[in-house]
Amino acid sequence: MKVLLVNPPRSPHNALRDHAPPEALRFVHSRLVGPPLGLLTIAVAARDDADVSFIDLKGEYDLHPDAPSPADFIRSRIQADPPDLVGVTFIASETPAGLDILRAVKAVSPGIVTVAGGLHATLCPEDFVDPAVDIVVPGDGAVVFRNLVRTLAAGGDLDTVGGLLVRDGDRLRPTLAPAPPVDPAGRDFLVPDRSYLQPWLSTYTVGGRPQPVTYVFTSLGCTSRCSFCSIWPQRDGAYLQRDVDSVVAELASLTEYEVIRWADANSVVDLEWTARLLDRLEAEGIRKHFVMDLRLDTAAKHPGLIARLARGGLKVVITGIESPRAEELKRYNKALDTRSITEGLKVFADNGILLRANYVVDPDYGPDDFAALADFATAHSTAYAGYTILTPMPGTGLHRQMRPRIVDSDLAKYNFFNCVVETRLPLDRFYEEAGRLWAIRTGDHVIS
């Protein structure tokens, strides 16, 4: 049994970048770099029963920008070495490209079993009702994918594999067997095997440094409930934390990576857990540079912990300020106040931590709103700030709420860099105003 797993390419759409003034251009993200941890986990789950190979199309296009289109690339790969099953991981903006990949597979060989998994397949399985998709694996799919591969290898019946959605004419239906309970951060945790990324490792760099960077997740899900966010709906509001030993063991194994970005929604939730992790890292002599997503109110409330994290290797923090306005924060269900913002910023600065803050730009913004946001961001400027567009990601409460205002349903544009709902200002003017914000920052750091 041969399994081929494919990480789709980035969406090329970035209207913010297209409209940003030259002085802001180098700060608008164009190429985020990080491992497809989900797919690398799925690879580990399947390999006892199959020969697993891997294609990272993001890395491939970073290495060879003129490489053939994803469909052509996959077609020639499949012709050269036909697999029995192809699996693709999906987020919203990579769905059109991922589906094209599966269509190319079916065009070469209709008998290859095609499988869709990942966040978007979990939140919106209906988007995968397509002749090119045989099976959808919603949720944390390692256990289910292992059972699927095992059953296919043995020529068994798919209905004995619980937790699948299988194509049945023009709909997807759940398989008959019950879905197995899974514990992806605990009992069923598998260390993602980053060695599959070796051919593209030289592309896993940021900020001009030669050493590769990687992500490690210490938890899945989120305890907060921001209305625009897909992370908590993906796991139905659950927050699943790994145990300290397993995180320490994974970090110890990452000898070729100096910079580790924590892939958690929020890197500090349980203070006692974090303190234990720091104790263990110190005891084991594990020294890395860490990049974490942290909340400003956590920093404001626990300056001692932030100082300890800084001593333990925390160099960069990514944080959501989202909006300076209480009314907007309330609408986004983001519990943050101006005092925590100011105090939190100070705590990070006092500890020499480079801060990247993110604001959400509402498509309803007019000139006064842009001016107010610019004033606030200037008064609270950070080493780097991002201004992404409020986007109704499919599967979120915001999507249900904003549906009547959606004017662009092309999922490739659902990456926070494009506006997909009607704007109050003419669209070009909106993008120009939003693009200009990206120039507001302090210092001369570029962390991308």
Binding mask 284-323 for ligand B12 (x = CB under 6 A): ----------------------------------------
Closest distance to ligand SF4 from the beta carbon of 332 (Å): 8
Identity of residue 239: Y
Sheet holding 314-322, edge to edge: 213-216, 259-262, 289-293, 314-322, 354-361, 384-389
Query: Do the beta carbons of residue 420 and residue 406 sit within 8 Å?
Result: yes
In angstroms, the first-to-last Cα distance of the chain is: 40
Closest distance to ligand SF4 from the beta carbon of 293 (Å): 7
**Residue 212 contact among ligand B12, ligand SF4, none, beta carbon within 5 to 8 Å by kind:** none
**Residue 137 contact among ligand B12, ligand SF4, none, beta carbon within 5 to 8 Å by kind:** ligand B12
Which residues are CB-contacts of 283 (< 8 A; sequence separation ≥ 6)?
none
**Per CB under 6 A, 7 contacts ligand B12:** yes
Question: Which region, judged by CB under 6 A, interacts with ligand B12, from 19-27, 28-36, 298-306, 326-334?
Answer: 28-36
Nearest to 185 by CA among 216, 218, 142: 218
Contact positions with ligand B12 (CB under 6 A) in 78-107: 87, 89, 91-93
Between 39 and 226, CB nearer to ligand SF4: 226
Enumerate the β-bridge partners of residue 1.
Answer: none
With residue 283 as reference, give the H or E element that holds it: helix 271-284
Q: Residue 354 has which token pair?
A: 């480079």
Query: Do the beta carbons of residue 382 and residue 441 sit within 8 Å?
Result: yes
**Per CB under 6 A, 267 contacts ligand B12:** no
**Per CB under 6 A, 175 contacts ligand B12:** no
**Position among 89, 219, 266, 340 found at the interface with ligand SF4 (CB under 6 A):** 266
Closest distance to ligand B12 from the beta carbon of 124 (Å): 9
Give the span between the Cα atoms of 79 and 98, in whole angstroms. Answer: 18
**Per CB under 6 A, 263 contacts ligand B12:** yes
Could you give the count of Cα atoms lying within 13 Å of 405 in the half-sphere of its Cβ?
Answer: 17
**Position among 9, 38, 313, 344 found at the interface with ligand B12 (CB under 6 A):** 38
Give the span between the Cα atoms of 246 and 252, in whole angstroms. Answer: 10
Could you give the count of Cα atoms lying within 13 Å of 287 in the half-sphere of its Cβ?
Answer: 2
Contact positions with ligand SF4 (CB under 6 A) in 291-330: 320
Give the span between the Cα atoms of 227 and 393, in whole angstroms. Answer: 10
**Per CB under 6 A, 265 contacts ligand SF4:** yes
Q: Residue 400 has which token pair?
A: 């249900």
**Position among 73, 416, 430, 438 found at the interface with ligand B12 (CB under 6 A):** 416
**Per CB under 6 A, 158 contacts ligand SF4:** no
Contact positions with ligand SF4 (CB under 6 A) in 176-235: 222, 224-226, 229, 231-232
Identity of residue 285: G
Closest distance to ligand B12 from the beta carbon of 308 (Å): 23
Enumerate the β-bridge partners of residue 55.
Answer: 6
Give the span between the Cα atoms of 338 and 351, in whole angstroms. Answer: 20
Any idea which residue has 């986990």 for tokens?
41
User: What residues make contact with ligand B12 under the rule CB under 6 A?
Assistant: 7, 10, 29, 31-34, 36-39, 41-42, 58, 87, 89, 91-93, 115, 117-120, 122, 137, 140-142, 145, 184, 215, 217, 229-231, 263-265, 393, 415-416
User: What residues make contact with ligand SF4 under the rule CB under 6 A?
Assistant: 222, 224-226, 229, 231-232, 265-266, 320
